[in-house]
Structure 1
Amino acid sequence: MDDSIGSRFYCCFRCRKIIAAHDHTVDKSFLAWRGRGFLFSHVVNVVEGPKADRLLISGTHMVADVFCGDCGEKLGWKYEKTYEQHHKYKEGKTVLAKSKITKAFDSTFY
Protein backbone atom coordinates (compact mmCIF):
# COMPACT_ATOMS: atom_id res chain seq x y z
CA MET A 1 0.00 0.00 0.00
CA ASP A 2 1.27 3.47 -0.87
CA ASP A 3 1.43 5.57 2.30
CA SER A 4 2.33 8.76 0.45
CA ILE A 5 0.20 11.88 0.69
CA GLY A 6 -2.93 11.39 -1.35
CA SER A 7 -3.64 7.78 -0.36
CA ARG A 8 -7.36 7.05 -0.35
CA PHE A 9 -9.25 5.75 2.65
CA TYR A 10 -12.77 5.11 3.83
CA CYS A 11 -13.97 6.56 7.13
CA CYS A 12 -17.00 6.18 9.34
CA PHE A 13 -19.58 8.61 7.96
CA ARG A 14 -20.50 9.76 11.47
CA CYS A 15 -17.17 10.40 13.25
CA ARG A 16 -14.68 10.27 10.32
CA LYS A 17 -12.48 7.61 11.94
CA ILE A 18 -10.44 5.75 9.29
CA ILE A 19 -11.86 2.27 8.76
CA ALA A 20 -10.24 0.91 5.58
CA ALA A 21 -7.76 1.71 2.85
CA HIS A 22 -8.99 1.85 -0.74
CA ASP A 23 -6.18 -0.60 -1.60
CA HIS A 24 -7.90 -3.24 0.54
CA THR A 25 -11.12 -3.15 -1.50
CA VAL A 26 -11.86 -6.62 -2.90
CA ASP A 27 -15.27 -6.07 -4.49
CA LYS A 28 -17.63 -3.08 -4.84
CA SER A 29 -20.67 -5.02 -6.03
CA PHE A 30 -22.06 -6.33 -2.72
CA LEU A 31 -25.47 -5.49 -1.35
CA ALA A 32 -25.66 -4.25 2.23
CA TRP A 33 -29.01 -3.70 3.90
CA ARG A 34 -30.81 -1.38 1.46
CA GLY A 35 -27.93 -0.39 -0.79
CA ARG A 36 -24.45 -1.09 -2.04
CA GLY A 37 -21.63 -2.47 0.04
CA PHE A 38 -17.91 -2.90 -0.45
CA LEU A 39 -16.00 -6.06 0.48
CA PHE A 40 -12.64 -5.35 2.17
CA SER A 41 -9.78 -7.72 2.90
CA HIS A 42 -8.71 -5.68 5.93
CA VAL A 43 -10.37 -3.08 8.16
CA VAL A 44 -9.18 -1.22 11.26
CA ASN A 45 -10.74 0.68 14.15
CA VAL A 46 -13.81 -1.55 14.31
CA VAL A 47 -15.38 -3.67 17.03
CA GLU A 48 -17.03 -6.99 16.19
CA GLY A 49 -20.31 -8.11 17.65
CA PRO A 50 -21.22 -11.72 18.42
CA LYS A 51 -20.99 -14.34 15.69
CA ALA A 52 -24.25 -15.77 14.39
CA ASP A 53 -25.60 -17.61 11.38
CA ARG A 54 -27.52 -15.21 9.16
CA LEU A 55 -29.47 -15.73 5.95
CA LEU A 56 -28.08 -13.28 3.40
CA ILE A 57 -28.84 -12.89 -0.30
CA SER A 58 -26.10 -15.41 -1.15
CA GLY A 59 -27.21 -17.97 1.46
CA THR A 60 -26.54 -18.68 5.10
CA HIS A 61 -23.20 -17.52 6.51
CA MET A 62 -21.74 -17.11 9.98
CA VAL A 63 -21.16 -13.36 10.37
CA ALA A 64 -20.39 -10.78 13.04
CA ASP A 65 -21.67 -7.22 12.78
CA VAL A 66 -18.91 -4.60 12.80
CA PHE A 67 -19.17 -1.24 14.53
CA CYS A 68 -16.99 1.87 14.45
CA GLY A 69 -14.50 1.61 17.30
CA ASP A 70 -14.96 5.29 18.15
CA CYS A 71 -18.65 6.17 17.84
CA GLY A 72 -20.24 2.68 17.79
CA GLU A 73 -22.06 3.14 14.47
CA LYS A 74 -22.98 -0.18 12.82
CA LEU A 75 -21.00 -0.23 9.55
CA GLY A 76 -21.48 -3.72 8.15
CA TRP A 77 -20.46 -7.29 8.92
CA LYS A 78 -17.52 -9.68 8.80
CA TYR A 79 -17.80 -13.12 7.22
CA GLU A 80 -16.58 -15.56 9.86
CA LYS A 81 -17.57 -18.77 8.05
CA THR A 82 -19.28 -19.71 4.82
CA TYR A 83 -20.93 -23.06 4.23
CA GLU A 84 -20.58 -23.35 0.45
CA GLN A 85 -17.24 -23.80 -1.30
CA HIS A 86 -17.80 -21.02 -3.86
CA HIS A 87 -18.21 -18.47 -1.03
CA LYS A 88 -15.00 -19.41 0.85
CA TYR A 89 -13.19 -16.33 -0.55
CA LYS A 90 -15.42 -14.17 1.72
CA GLU A 91 -14.18 -15.72 4.98
CA GLY A 92 -12.29 -13.22 7.12
CA LYS A 93 -13.38 -10.31 4.93
CA THR A 94 -15.67 -7.44 5.86
CA VAL A 95 -18.58 -5.81 4.05
CA LEU A 96 -19.05 -2.11 4.78
CA ALA A 97 -22.29 -0.43 3.71
CA LYS A 98 -21.55 2.39 1.27
CA SER A 99 -24.07 4.57 3.12
CA LYS A 100 -22.06 4.18 6.35
CA ILE A 101 -18.62 5.16 5.02
CA THR A 102 -17.16 8.19 3.30
CA LYS A 103 -14.01 8.74 1.24
CA ALA A 104 -11.05 10.53 2.76
CA PHE A 105 -7.46 11.35 1.90
CA ASP A 106 -4.77 11.00 4.52
CA SER A 107 -1.03 10.48 4.66
CA THR A 108 -1.07 7.88 7.47
CA PHE A 109 -3.23 4.82 7.86
CA TYR A 110 -2.04 2.91 10.90
Structure 2
Amino acid sequence: MADNLIGPRRYSCYRCRNLVSCHEDIVSKGFQASSGRAFLFSHAANIVEGPKEDQHLLTGLHTVADVYCADCGELLGWTYKRAFEESQKYKEGKIVLEKFKIAKDNW
Protein backbone atom coordinates (compact mmCIF):
# COMPACT_ATOMS: atom_id res chain seq x y z
CA MET A 1 0.00 0.00 0.00
CA ALA A 2 2.84 2.42 0.77
CA ASP A 3 4.25 1.89 -2.75
CA ASN A 4 1.04 3.35 -4.19
CA LEU A 5 1.56 6.53 -2.19
CA ILE A 6 5.17 6.94 -3.28
CA GLY A 7 4.71 6.37 -7.01
CA PRO A 8 6.95 4.57 -9.47
CA ARG A 9 10.57 3.98 -8.53
CA ARG A 10 12.78 5.68 -11.09
CA TYR A 11 16.40 5.98 -12.14
CA SER A 12 18.00 9.27 -13.12
CA CYS A 13 21.35 10.43 -14.44
CA TYR A 14 23.62 10.65 -11.40
CA ARG A 15 25.08 13.94 -12.63
CA CYS A 16 22.02 16.07 -13.49
CA ARG A 17 19.07 13.97 -12.15
CA ASN A 18 17.43 13.72 -15.58
CA LEU A 19 14.93 10.81 -15.53
CA VAL A 20 16.25 7.92 -17.66
CA SER A 21 14.23 4.82 -16.70
CA CYS A 22 11.85 3.12 -14.27
CA HIS A 23 12.51 0.20 -11.96
CA GLU A 24 9.79 -1.86 -13.64
CA ASP A 25 11.75 -1.69 -16.93
CA ILE A 26 14.69 -3.70 -15.54
CA VAL A 27 15.14 -6.95 -17.46
CA SER A 28 18.31 -8.07 -15.63
CA LYS A 29 20.62 -6.82 -12.89
CA GLY A 30 23.30 -9.33 -13.86
CA PHE A 31 25.21 -7.32 -16.43
CA GLN A 32 28.82 -6.23 -16.22
CA ALA A 33 30.37 -3.05 -17.58
CA SER A 34 34.07 -2.19 -17.57
CA SER A 35 33.42 -0.04 -14.49
CA GLY A 36 31.32 -2.58 -12.56
CA ARG A 37 27.71 -3.71 -12.34
CA ALA A 38 25.11 -2.66 -14.87
CA PHE A 39 21.39 -3.20 -15.42
CA LEU A 40 19.64 -4.21 -18.64
CA PHE A 41 16.50 -2.11 -19.24
CA SER A 42 13.71 -2.70 -21.72
CA HIS A 43 13.13 1.05 -22.11
CA ALA A 44 14.97 4.29 -21.41
CA ALA A 45 14.01 7.94 -21.83
CA ASN A 46 15.88 11.20 -22.24
CA ILE A 47 18.94 9.57 -23.79
CA VAL A 48 20.88 10.19 -26.97
CA GLU A 49 22.59 7.42 -28.94
CA GLY A 50 26.09 7.63 -30.34
CA PRO A 51 27.23 5.94 -33.56
CA LYS A 52 26.75 2.18 -33.99
CA GLU A 53 29.79 -0.09 -33.89
CA ASP A 54 30.47 -3.81 -33.84
CA GLN A 55 32.11 -5.03 -30.65
CA HIS A 56 33.26 -8.42 -29.38
CA LEU A 57 31.77 -8.64 -25.88
CA LEU A 58 31.87 -11.51 -23.38
CA THR A 59 28.75 -13.01 -24.99
CA GLY A 60 29.89 -12.67 -28.60
CA LEU A 61 29.73 -10.14 -31.42
CA HIS A 62 27.16 -7.35 -31.06
CA THR A 63 26.38 -4.06 -32.78
CA VAL A 64 26.09 -1.49 -30.00
CA ALA A 65 25.79 2.29 -29.58
CA ASP A 66 26.81 4.27 -26.52
CA VAL A 67 23.96 6.12 -24.78
CA TYR A 68 24.30 9.54 -23.20
CA CYS A 69 22.09 11.67 -20.96
CA ALA A 70 20.10 14.02 -23.21
CA ASP A 71 20.50 16.88 -20.71
CA CYS A 72 24.14 16.84 -19.59
CA GLY A 73 25.77 14.49 -22.12
CA GLU A 74 27.12 12.04 -19.52
CA LEU A 75 27.91 8.57 -20.91
CA LEU A 76 25.46 6.24 -19.12
CA GLY A 77 25.88 2.91 -20.92
CA TRP A 78 25.02 1.39 -24.27
CA THR A 79 22.19 -0.04 -26.33
CA TYR A 80 22.20 -3.34 -28.20
CA LYS A 81 21.31 -2.74 -31.84
CA ARG A 82 22.07 -6.27 -33.08
CA ALA A 83 23.18 -9.58 -31.59
CA PHE A 84 24.88 -12.02 -33.95
CA GLU A 85 24.46 -15.08 -31.69
CA GLU A 86 20.94 -16.52 -31.65
CA SER A 87 21.00 -16.96 -27.86
CA GLN A 88 21.70 -13.23 -27.42
CA LYS A 89 18.87 -11.87 -29.63
CA TYR A 90 16.80 -10.99 -26.52
CA LYS A 91 19.19 -8.05 -25.93
CA GLU A 92 18.34 -6.32 -29.21
CA GLY A 93 16.70 -2.94 -28.65
CA LYS A 94 17.47 -2.98 -24.92
CA ILE A 95 19.64 -0.56 -22.98
CA VAL A 96 22.39 -1.21 -20.46
CA LEU A 97 22.88 1.52 -17.85
CA GLU A 98 25.90 1.38 -15.57
CA LYS A 99 24.87 1.21 -11.92
CA PHE A 100 27.23 3.95 -10.75
CA LYS A 101 25.98 6.32 -13.49
CA ILE A 102 22.33 6.24 -12.37
CA ALA A 103 20.70 7.39 -9.15
CA LYS A 104 17.56 6.04 -7.51
CA ASP A 105 14.69 8.52 -7.31
CA ASN A 106 11.39 8.18 -5.44
CA TRP A 107 12.51 5.13 -3.41
TM-score, normalised on structure 1? 0.90
Higher mean C-alpha deviation, range 37-46 or range 49-58: 49-58
- Whether the 8 Å contact between 1:26 and 1:38 is mirrored in structure 2 is yes
Partner SS state of residue 14, structure 1: coil
Q: What code does the residue aligned with 1:60 have?
A: L
- Identical-residue share of aligned pairs (%): 54
Matches within 5 A, 1:46-57: 46-57=47-58
Q: What code does the residue aligned with 1:71 have?
A: C
Which of the pair has the greater relative contact order for Cα pairs under 8 Å at 6+ separation?
1
Structure 2: stretches of 5+ with no match in the other structure: none
Q: What code does the residue aligned with 1:103 have?
A: K
Higher helix share: 2
The alpha-carbon deviation at position 56 of structure 1 amounts to: 1.3
The alpha-carbon deviation at position 17 of structure 1 amounts to: 0.4
The alpha-carbon deviation at position 34 of structure 1 amounts to: 2.1
Task: List 4+ stretches of structure 1 deviating above 4 A.
Answer: none
> Aligned residues, how many?
105
